[in-house]
Structure formats: structure tokens, C-alpha cells
Amino acid sequence: MSHYLELNTFLIIIFFVISGFLNSQESDTLNSKLEPNKIFMPNIKTVQLYRDGWEMSPPLIKFNTAEKLKLSFDDLDGDRKVYMYTIVHCNPEWEPEDLENYQYIDGYYEDYITDYWFSMNTIQPYTHYELIFPTQDLAPAISGNYILKVFIENPDSICFTRQFMVVDQKVKFEAKVKQATQLDDRKTSQEIDFEVIANQYRIINPYRDLNVVIRQNGRWDNAISNLKPKMVIGDKLDFNYDRENVFRGGNEFRNIDFKSLTYYTENVIKIDYTGEGYQVFVREGEKRTFQVYKTESDINGRFIVKTEDRTQTATEAEYVYTHFFLAYPVPLIDGDIYIMGELTNWNFNEQNKMTYNFKRKGYEKTLYLKQGFYDYAYILLNHGEKVADESFIEGSHWETENDYTIYIYNRNVSLDYDELIGVHHLNSLTDR
């Protein structure tokens, strides 16, 4: 009998060891496939992440400072859920690093989102959640790229993800944006020339350990990555290339303003109220490829949530069916048209892919948006491609006003992860 019990005990132990190993492998696999800036649940809307105190800022904070990030989102189920979050450290390509939690997290590995408010007097009921972090209970322990995962109960059942960065500024920059040098790019493109000054910070092998990324506005699909110095002179690293650091200028973003549902703004042609809710119709779009460049104010693809009809935007702004239409004579065969901007998380998927209406002769799409001011663009993504073509519909001009961000990553050889040692922001109008 005792031998039988010992055998059973042994088998139970083996079962739990194997189960733990398999669960660990499954978790590692899920982390390795982690998709940044994606909403996985249809009830989640209007996810925003920015530096606390400045709604238009990128999700970036300085390491070991009092700077905080603010996360906000709405749950259209309108009930109370126990949302939790954790963070994952990533390399410059936004792939999870092979690190243990304790190596990049100070405090607990998971925490709760405790601040929430129910919507008031809105057609669409929703619950508004907010989080200010890092907190005393959970904070990044090292610099670099991070993905914030929000979930309910199980960290592998992700509701949505968001990218953010923590920079430990070790280097300085001398940078400018100018008209592209190459003759075939001069009318359409912008060139970002810069030098990195290392000062007292020692970069052992800049050609091996550095990874430089340049980003235009909020996009990641067309980011230039793994840029290496053209030359190194003392403590200066020269990145003054003629082609490697060139972006198409694109065009100024289109916009739609429905902060109020009681009057029409410039690009709103009709507001209806039906049994489903408010219907806002955006002015018909047209191809701008061959139009002369025209200076227009925009917010470079971002959006601002705001209602002018009531006092509390977070809980009293309405959700609106927003109807977009782009006139186009025939449907495209080799690609699809998407609505691009922060309003669609800068992604290209079924949620923002437009469909062709043969009767109206154009592409249409309806997005369910919270009241506010939204920038957007119509953009082509050819089948099989990862980088979208902003010039096909919108045109491209070297004069266009764009924001650029340079990120400098250095591979920490001793701990085997990528530190973010420098970030520099530029604007194509003010930093020429």
C-alpha cells in the first residue's frame, strides 16, 4: 500500500512539473508573438496613452524621474470589470526580450486598474477607466521599449496592448530636417540629417551595438531602423546620409471635427440621429496625388477626445457612427485602401479597411468614434507589403509639416538587452 501511495505521489509531482513547464513554454510563445498597439476585444474603444499632463505627447518618459504615463480607455459593455496590467520589455523591433520579470520590473509583476467611472446620459453606455503609472507597486527597472498588456484575470487573455518607451538620456543630438538631397526625391521627400554626441558615455562598438530608429509622426510601418553611423570621429557619430534617412513627405492630414453634435463644422456635411445613435457624415474625399501643395494646420495624425455639448468629456461624450467616403472610379486589384491615423491605432486591418461601393463609385467605411477632433489619411497598402503608400491617394510634398523622432538603442552586452540611451524630436518646419 505504501509503495502504491509513493508511486501516486511521484506521478502527481511529475504531472505538475510537466504542466508548469508546458505553461511556461506557452507563455513564452505568447510573449514572442505579442502584437503591439492592438485591441483584441470589440468592447474596448478609445485607448489613449501619453505622458501625464500633455495629451498630445508620445508615450515616453525619462528613466528614474517623476514623469508618469496616463492610460485611458472605454469599455462599451458599461459594467464593472477587474482589469489588470503588466509590462513586457522589448528590443528595437518590438519583440519581447529574453529577460526574467525581475530584471525589468520593480515591484509586483501585475497590478490592478482601479480608477473607473460610468458614463452619464449617453446613448452608448460605457465605463471609462484610467491609470497613472509607473506606481510604487509596479515600475520599469531599466530603459528601453515596453509593451503594456491589459487583461482580465489571465495575463495571456489580452484585452489590448500599447507601446511605450523609457529613455535614459546618455547622448546629445545635432539634427535637422531638410529637402532630400537626391534629385529624384527632392520634390517629394524629406531628409533627416543628424549627429550623435556621446560625451562621457562609452559606446564600445557603435557598428555592432547601436540600433538607430527614425519614426515619422505616429507610424511604425515606414520607420527606418537599424541605421548605423556613416562615420565615427572622436565622440561624434555621423548619420548624414543622402538616401538611408529619407522619408516621403506625404501631405497634411485630413480632419473631422464633431466636438459638438448641434452644428456642422467644415468637413461635416450631415448629422443625423437614428434609432442606433448619432450618424456623422464626413465630406467626400478625393484623390490629392497631383494637386499643388497647400499649407493646412493639422495635428499629424493624432486625435483629441472632446465634447462641447456637455461638461465632462471622459464620461459624457457620445459615441458616433462616423461615415467616410473616398471617391474613386474603379476598385483596386493589387491593394486596399485604409483609414490611417491614431484613430485606427496606425494599423492596417479589417477594422479600418475600406470597402468599394460600386453604386456610389468609391470606397467607404464607418468607424465608431467618441466625440472629438480627428486627423486621418487615406492610404494604400499593396497586397503582400508591410509599408503603406501614403502618396497614392494623398500625394507627397517635401514642404509638408511632419514630426520626426530619433531613437538610439545600445545593446547592453553584460545583461543582454537593448537600452534606450537617447531620444530626439524634430519638426520639418521648425528644425530646418
* Bigger pLDDT: 8 vs 193: 193
What is the pLDDT, as a whole number, of residue 336? 98
pLDDT in tens, 105-115: 999 999 999 99
Counting beta carbons within 10 angstroms of the beta carbon of residue 39, is it exposed (0 to 12), middle (13 to 18) or buried (19 or more)?
Answer: buried
Mean pLDDT of 54-70: 96
Average pLDDT over residues 65-78: 97
Identify the pLDDT of residue 154: 84
Least confident of 32-46, 219-233, 372-386: 32-46
User: Are 428 and 225 within 8 A, CB to CB?
Assistant: no
Q: Counting beta carbons within 10 angstroms of the beta carbon of residue 20, is it exposed (0 to 12), middle (13 to 18) or buried (19 or more)?
A: exposed
Pairing of strands 60-62, 158-167: parallel
Query: Residue 12: is its pLDDT beyond 70?
Result: no
What number is the average pLDDT over the span 270-281? 95
Question: How confident is the prediction for the chain on average, in pLDDT?
Answer: 92
Condensed to tens digits (0 to 9), the pLDDT of residues 112-137 reads: 999 999 999 999 999 999 999 999 99
Give the percent of the chain with pLDDT over 90.
Answer: 87
Question: Is 223 exposed, middle or buried (CB count within 10 Å of its CB: 0-12, 13-18, 19+)?
Answer: middle
Provide the pLDDT for residue 33.
Answer: 59
- Between 28-32, 69-73, 200-204, 261-265, the lowest mean confidence (pLDDT) is in 28-32
Domains of the chain (ranges; CATH) run 34-167 (2.60.40), 172-249+401-427 (2.60.40), 254-394 (no CATH)
- Residue range 393-418: mean pLDDT, rounded: 94
pLDDT at 17 over 80: no
Checking if the pLDDT of 8 tops 60, the result is: no
pLDDT digit string, tens, across residues 245-260: 999 999 999 999 999 9
CB-based contacts of 379, cutoff 8 Å, min separation 6? 337, 338, 339, 340, 348, 388, 389, 390, 392, 393, 394
Tell me the C-alpha to C-alpha distance, in Å, between residue 104 and each of 29, 86, 274, 421: 19, 11, 50, 16
Least confident of 4-8, 291-295, 346-350, 375-379: 4-8
* pLDDT bracket for residue 199 (50, 70, 90): confident
328, 336 contact by CB (below 8 A): no
305 or 154, higher pLDDT: 305
Query: What DSSP designation does 259 have?
Result: S
Given a cut of 70, is residue 30 above it in pLDDT? no
> For residue 124, what is its C-alpha cell?
452608448
Q: What is the pLDDT of residue 73?
A: 98
Mean pLDDT along residues 350-374: 97
pLDDT at 166 over 60: yes
**Mean pLDDT on 382-407:** 97
Question: Is this structure's pTM higher than 0.85?
Answer: yes
Tell me what pLDDT residue 34 has.
82
Q: Which residues lie below 8 Å from residue 285, measured CB to CB, with a gap of 6+? A: 254, 324, 325, 326, 327, 378
Residue pLDDT, tens place only, 338-361? 999 999 999 999 999 999 999 999
- Tallying the residues shown for the chain, one arrives at 432
Average confidence (pLDDT) over 292-300:
94
Checking if the pLDDT of 10 tops 80, the result is no
The answer to whether residue 14 scores a pLDDT higher than 90 is no
